[in-house]
Copies of this chain bind each other. A is one copy, B any other.
Amino acid sequence: MTVLAPIKRRRGRPPKDQAAFSETKADLIRSGMELLTEKGFSSTGLDEILGRVGVPKGSFYHYFGSKDAFGSELIKQYTTFFNHKLDKFLLDESLAPLDRLEAFINDTIAGMARHEFKRGCLVGNLGQEMGALPESFREQLNEVFIEWQQRIALCLEQAKCAKQISVKTDSTEAAYVFWTGWEGAVLRAKLEQSDSALKVFSAYFLDSLK
Measuring CB to CB, which residues of chain A are less than 8 angstroms from any residue of chain B?
A: 38-40, 42-44, 118, 120, 124-125, 127-132, 138, 141-142, 145, 173-174, 176-177, 179-185, 187-188, 190-193, 197, 200-201, 204, 208
Cβ–Cβ contact B176 & A197, under 8 A: yes
- With a cutoff of 8 Å between Cβ atoms, the chain B residues found around residue A181 in the complex are 177, 180-181, 184-185, 201
Query: A180 is contacted by which of B38, B131, B188 (Cβ under 8 Å)?
Result: B188
The residues of B that contact A44 with a CB separation of less than 8 Å are 132
Say whether chain A's binding surface is mostly helix, strand, loop, or mixed. Answer: helix
Q: Which of A127, A129, A176 has the most CB of B within 10 A?
A: A129
13 A-B contact pairs sorted by A residue (CB < 8 Å): A39-B42, A40-B128, A40-B131, A118-B131, A124-B187, A130-B190, A131-B190, A142-B191, A145-B191, A176-B197, A176-B200, A177-B181, A183-B184
